[in-house]
Amino acid sequence: KLSTLPKRAKLLKCIFLLAFPHVGFFCVCPSHDTVRELMDAQKEEATEEGINYVAMRNLFVREAREALDVKVVKKTRSTQIKESVERMELSRTLDEWTQFRRKMNPDNLTHPPEFTVKPRGQTVWEGKTVKLHCTVAGWPRPKVAWYKNNVLIDVKAHPEKYTVESNYNMHSLEIKNCDFFDTAQYYISALNVKGEASSVATVVVKRKFKRLKIKVGLFKLTAHGVTFETTIIDKFEVAFGREGETLSLGCTVIVYPTVKKYQPEVVWYRNSVPLKPSKWVHTHWSGERATLTLIHLNKEDEGLYTLRVNTKSGFDTYSAYVFVQDADVEVEGVPVAPLDVRCHDVNKDYVVVTWKQPAVEGSSSIQGYYIDRCEVGCHHWALCNDVPVKYARFPVTGLVEGRSYIFRVRAVNKAGISRPSRVSEAVVAMDPSDRARLRAGPLAPWTGMIKFTEEDPTVGVVPGEPTDVVVTEATKSYVVLAWKPPVQRGHEGVMYYIEKCISGTDTWQRVNTSAPVKSPRFALFDLAEGKSYSFRVRCCNSAGVSEPSVSTGEITVGDKLDLPSVPSIPVATRNTATSVVVFWKACKDVKHLVGYYIECSVVGTDVWMPCNNKPVKQTRFVCHGLTTGANYVFRVKAVNPAGYSQSSPNSDALVVLPAICECLHHNSSPLFTLLLVCHVYDVIYWTECFIKRNGLFSVSLPISSNSLSLNSTGVTLLEAVKDYMVLGWSPPANNGGADIRGYFLDYRTVKGNAVGKWHELNHKALTTTSYKAENLKENVFYEFQVRAMNMAGVSKASLPSASLECKEWTLTVPGVPVGLHVLEIRDTSVVVLWETPTFDGRTPVNGYYLDFKEASAGEECWKAAHEKVNKMKYMKVTGLKSGTSYVFRVRAQNLAGVGKPSELVGPVLAKTLPGTKEIYVDVDDDGVISMIFEFPEMKPGSEFVWSKNYQAIDASRLTIVSEQGKSRAIFNSPSLEDLGTFSCVVTNTDGISSSFTLTEEGESLLLCSSAWFNKIWFSPVIPFKTEMAMELLEKGRVRFWTQVEKCTSACQVEYVFNDLIISHGQKYTMNFDKNTGIIEMFMDSLEVTDEGTYTFNLVDGKAKGTTSLVLIGEEFMELQKKSQFERAEWVRKQGPHFVEYLDFVVTSECDVLLKCKVGNVRPETEITWSKNSIEIAEGDEDLSKKDAGVYEVFLKDDRGRDKSTFNLTDAGNPQMEQLISLLCAIISNSSSEIKVISTEHGIILYSTVTYYNEDLRVAWLHKEAKIAASERVKAGVTGEQLWLKINEPTEKDKGRYTMDIFDGKGSVKRFVDLIGQAWEEGKSLNLTGNVWGDPVPEVSWTKNDKLLVSDERYKLKFEQGKFASITIAAVTTTDSGKYALLVKNKYGTEAGEFTVSVYNPDDEEAKEEKKD
């Protein structure tokens, strides 16, 4: 029903605005009277239509049947024009008839959604674009939503990924640049008032197999031709802060190359969770430096902080831990503040607050916790529990619905109460279903139908009983009940009463006697520990109280959650000079584990300090901030909501020193000790002695352990300048079973026969076998030694080098090659590899010479392995004797000559290692060529590494597949580019390797025997970059297109439709761009005869290619409809047309404005308004109820015509409902704040609105309870004033009053607090106020805004310039009213207001007797 409007008369306003020549606006604005009278007019029209319905229906049907009889005859031009006019008139008559039938039978028109064309599943390659189409029928027009795996697709959040289109009943979802993760089921859900329907389509994205090179810490991917490399410098270290302080973390980020206007994405994480800017967290990116500032630190801020820099080529990260220490306590011995306060299960008047226990309990154990709450916007904290609770979880009740709250927690022990924790996030006390409706998003899709049926009115129906009453939490402090609301509960809300029964009795006692609860949750306190209770729930509303629910059964009051068990003995290992790594075994059978706290103590002090102030869940923790050289012990305790576990036994004492340290031995050799720890189920690959202890293993490796890498060979000089020298060395012959991770270089000065102390040159391990020693002194002699490191530790130092003088070289020949090592050791051959010299000499190096000799032979026995200079950095030496050991050296050559020989590599025993196999080539049935290398004795951690010409391979040429001791290198596209030597090395072995040389002759044989070769050579196919596709263009034109990867200028295309060759002409337009490879064919429109298969046949020399597209059935019909629609739209827009169709706007003054937007209009364009097909004259005003109807706007000139319609008749149509809803919202929001006036009979509360609507729902509440109408309290409306009258007010009438106005969707509330004092009739009344001001203000008193003067009844006094009073000797009910004390001087005016209510005691007693 359309809302009625105020009875004041307003005229219909017609506004016509045009902006020639293209766009214009025109609209109709009905007045309030017009809108108010629409529904009355609707009833009158329905009556008239009912009387004449049968006659009109027969008339229209007969005329329609006669008009539809078609005869084929020859007609003149004038006859055709005349009949065309008649057909147009008939069409108009049929349209009016259809509108009439819709009015008479609206239910026959509406129907639920139905998918006439369902979306079809598709399979595409990565990088392609896929589009899902469907057609949905239904009235009213359904609203659709797309989902991916039941998750709503947010198109606005991902516009670069998704595009959704809806044209009339046709809907589409476009997924751009598909990747593997777009493989999913895509649902479309359609919903209207009649029901819901959904359909699903599966999209499969195939991945093209590519080998991706990954570099640790940096992904190198090319984007737009630029590969960005990210380097993070000036890194923040482990940081320590204190609660209340401000801490900043920062790093300098270098992105190379620098691209103008391009900035990387900088993201900060705490414990792998992204940080969002807030009042506690500030982030800043200057373009070079990323900074994170933590304002007012709290223990919640403790954790691992990570800086991640994202570029288009990958990302780089850096992490460090931040520790937050507790602030100093105000009273010694009290606990520190709890942390991480959160709110759960928020309801109308109930919320569960949880927190984490602090690390430090103080001088005594924590006895419990106090929970405080505060309304948002206030500063008053209210205590939620009178007795401390030990459980770190507490249900808070008594909240006021609709208000927002924050919470904090304080711990208490014998010494006192801690400081409060950081406040929780604000929560609103409201029903969870209402909260879900306020959040974004429609419901998840489903396959089914929703049927809407008419429900019987439920006003005055007693609700049903609640169901599924269960105990969700039970402790010795409280018990929490939860249940489901009843199915039968009426349109009004329900509340609940909770009853309990002690075990062994049949007496049920109501728990909440004062007031029912609103939420389906309730916490019961003050229950006797150890006793058993049963519970049940009743519902109530204004009609009465329901039957009780099913009892919960007997529940024993007591803690259901046990304390955690004691953790195992921790194991501490060295890490750095100020940190230690602590391991322990997790607690057994612990429930709801919060985490662990680690404590440390210096041996002999018995003072325990927390290592972490925020519990951690992992069983490994790095304790930072320790004193170097101090002896510490450690212990661990677990925490869950029930409390702390007992502390674990103390660990073994450990002196805090770096994990890599040197201590002098009797032979001055470095001694290194390393402790490795792993879990029982981990695998350890060393053969040393294992000691089992508390479920962990520890391994101690002495200096002679085989797991340590053997000594590196001697250091040689590669280049020398005035103040630096470049040094080189060879890796050790045995790596100890693990990869070499780096080297440490030492130096000492030499003066004659005296040598100095050894000093470290590098503090971080070197990853290369050369190093530039800087800041040396010129003409001073130095000795150097080197140590290798693997995962087990650091080796002994190599023998000292010869004394090397630091002075600039003047040599013209190159320096010595470096990095000599051997591979592929066989009985008669070996492969030697090396790197270029650091010093090239006067000219660049142009070749190398390799020499070898038996290890036992003299210097005169050196032999050249080759005669001509070798330009490669590797060489295979053949002709060796099996079982003989050899040494090798290399010399570099430039134009000036041959340089000195390198350091020797070897001795190398010429003997094939056991288990060594050779690489062999395989061609499978599909013609795929691959090289295979096998090594069945693979160890964990070992892997196959392939190379070509002993350099890294090109991933685009080969695909590597390794599994179960076999590695296969597959040629992606064999060609002459693949010629060369391919080698494969197995890491973490004694040098297992092999190679295979692919020559031109050998590859030719492989290709000739390959099915791949035969297929490509004898049956060449033109590759298509894109298969044939179709798209719809402007004017309804259809474009068929495809693109080939490559073609020559001689390529020809044959266009075929249903096996018939078609050519360029009036219907078809063809185009072939041979530069881009794009082939196109255009059709102006689609006819019925165009259904079939379209094919492009290509011929390019011997190569051929074919691509087709099938357009048949529903797909063709859908495309044809779209084409015709686009064509019609284009024709319509050639003349005057509607850019925006007729719609309405409601102004703030509640005027209803009908408007539309037109385009392509001219001065001569006719614009006509009509209502119910009757033209509206420009001077028509004074509209009445009969003006309800269908409004139309017509555009017409010599180029064409267009029409727009707006229906203002049916109260059930969506346009009318939207208008009413918007109107109610404006009325509600226009209401003023509640004002109070006093009368001789009592008090009036009132609020004014712009105008009043009789259907506007207004409710008055007193103290959150709805006010029932009575003779003393009445609510009503006068004009545009909403009021509540309270006659003869009493003390009970004091409190908060709420006016609740329904705005169509929610409610708008206005509040006022009535405070004051009710005075008994016959007694004297004295009102006093203290006044201050300079100069002394003037004082006056008013009653109900009328000035009072001092007389026999009212005695007004103002004493000492401070005290103002008014005295009424004997008050009567006429003295009730609103009094005000006004003070004024030249600087301003101020007033103090209060309300006085006078009642007659006799009248009150009489009323009480009537109630009894």
From CA 216, how far away is CA 558, in angstroms rounded?
54
In angstroms and rounded to an integer, the radius of gyration of the C-alpha atoms of the chain is 46
Please give the average per-residue pLDDT across 496-501, as a whole number: 90
Residue 667 pLDDT: 30
Nearest to 384 by CA among 341, 330, 331, 335: 341
pLDDT at 424: 92
Rounded distance, CA 360 to CA 1001, Å? 79
Query: Rounded mean pLDDT of the chain?
Result: 78
Mean pLDDT value of segment 446-473: 65
**pLDDT of the residue at 405:** 94
Is the CB of residue 891 less than 8 Å from the CB of residue 848? yes
DSSP lists the bridge partners of residue 124 as 205
**Residue 823: helix, strand or coil by DSSP?**
strand
Average pLDDT (576-605) is 90
**Least confident among 95-104, 764-773, 999-1008, 1218-1227:** 999-1008
The pLDDT of residue 533 is above 50: yes
Q: List, in sequence order, every residue forming a beta bridge with 771; answer none if it has no partner.
A: 727
Separation of alpha carbons 332 and 340, rounded Å: 24
- Residue 304 confidence (pLDDT): 92
d(CA 1204, CA 1142): 6
What residues are paired with 186 via a beta bridge? 148, 201
**Environment class of 635 (CB within 10 Å of its CB; exposed 0-12, middle 13-18, buried 19+):** buried
Three-state SS for 1013? Answer: helix
Lookup result for tokens 């337009």: 1069
CA dist 41 and 1154 (Å) reads: 19
Burial of 877 (0-12, 13-18, 19+ CB in 10 A): buried
What 3-state class would DSSP assign to 339?
Answer: strand
97 three-state secondary structure: helix
CA distance 1138 to 1156: 7
Alpha carbon 1244 to its chain centroid, in Å, reads: 52
Q: Half-sphere exposure of residue 814, counting CA atoms within 13 Å on the CB side?
A: 24
Tokens of 3: 């809302």
Query: Could you give the 3-state DSSP secondary structure of residue 267?
Result: strand
Residue 1016 DSSP SS3: helix
- Residue 40: what pLDDT? 52
Q: Residue 1150: its pLDDT value, please? A: 74
CA 811 – CA 855 distance, rounded (Å): 30
Least confident of 186-190, 1071-1075, 1197-1201: 1197-1201
The residue with greater pLDDT, 1003 or 1048, is 1048
CA distance 845 to 849: 12
Tokens of 1335: 């100069």
| Residue with token string 């991945």 | 207
Look up residue 867 and give its two tokens: 């005669």
Residue 1284 Cα to chain centre, angstroms: 49
Query: Cβ–Cβ contacts within 10 Å for residue 1171, how many?
Result: 19
- As a whole number of angstroms, the distance between CA 826 and CA 289 comes to 55
**Lowest-confidence pick of 101-115, 536-550, 1160-1174:** 101-115
User: 1169 is written with which tokens?
Assistant: 């308004």
What local confidence, expressed as pLDDT, does residue 58 receive? 55
Given this model, what pLDDT does residue 441 score?
A: 46
Q: What is the pLDDT of residues 355-383, one digit of tens each?
A: 999 999 888 899 999 999 999 888 899 99
Q: Does the pLDDT of residue 132 top 90, yes or no?
A: yes
Is the Cβ–Cβ distance between 1205 and 95 less than 8 Å? Answer: no
pLDDT of residue 710: 41
Rounded to the nearest 5°, which phi and psi values hold at 852? -150, 160
Contacts of 800 (CB under 8 A, 6+ apart): 748, 783, 784, 785
CA angle 138, 141, 142 (to 5 degrees): 80
Q: Please say if the pLDDT value at position 713 is more than 60.
A: no
- The neighbouring-strand residues paired with 175 are 130, 162
Q: Say yes or no to pLDDT of 313 above 50.
A: yes
Contact predicate 708/688, CB 8 Å = no
Residue 575 near residue 657, CB atoms below 8 Å: no
383 closest CA partner among 405, 403, 409, 401:
409
Q: How much is the pLDDT for 442?
A: 47
Any idea of the CA torsion for 414, 415, 417, 419, to the nearest 10 degrees? -140
1172, amino acid identity = N
Q: pLDDT-based confidence at 36, cuts 50/70/90?
A: very low
pLDDT band at 1321 (very low <50, low <70, confident <90, very high): low
Q: Is the pLDDT of residue 801 over 50?
A: yes
Q: Could you give the CA distance from residue 390 to residue 1026 in angstroms, rounded to a whole number?
A: 69
- Residues in CB range of 1105: below 8 A, 6 or more apart: 1021, 1022, 1023, 1024, 1044, 1097, 1098
What three-state secondary structure class fits 166? Answer: strand
* Range 427-436 average pLDDT: 80
Note whether 1151 and 4 are within 8 A (CB): no
Q: Cβ distance 1369 to 1354 under 8 Å?
A: no
The b/e string for 104-113 (b: 16+ C-beta within 10 A; e otherwise) is eeeeeeeebb
% of the chain at pLDDT higher than 90 = 15
Q: How confident is the model at residue 777 (pLDDT cuts 50, 70, 90)?
A: confident
Weakest mean pLDDT among 230-234, 609-613, 949-953? 949-953
Q: For CA atoms 1175, 1179, 1185, 1188, give the dihedral sign.
A: positive
Phi–psi pair at 239, nearest 5 degrees = -115, 150
pLDDT tens digits, 622-677: 999 999 999 999 999 999 988 899 999 999 899 998 875 443 333 333 333 333 33
Nearest CA among 412, 421, 533 for reference residue 476 = 533
User: What separation in angstroms does the CA of 1165 have from each of 309, 513, 1154, 1196?
Assistant: 61, 76, 20, 6
- Give, for 78, the enclosing helix (H) or strand (E): helix 77-104
Least confident of 282-291, 683-692, 732-741, 834-843: 683-692
Confidence class for position 119, pLDDT limits 50, 70, 90: very high
Tokens standing for residue 288: 């070079």
pLDDT in the model for residue 1400:
66
Pairing of strands 1235-1238, 1273-1278: unpaired
Cβ(726)–Cβ(766) below 8 Å:
no
Helix%, strand%, coil% for the chain, nearest 5: 10, 45, 45
Q: How many residues in the chain? A: 1412
Distances (CA, A) of 1056 to 729, 864, 1109: 72, 72, 11
Are 1083 and 1035 contacting, i.e. CB atoms less than 8 angstroms apart?
no
Task: Please choose, from the candidates 676, 666, 745, the residue with its C-alpha nearest in 3D space to the C-alpha of residue 707.
Answer: 676
Beta-sheet strand order (sheet of 151-152): 122-125, 195-206, 184-192, 143-148, 151-152
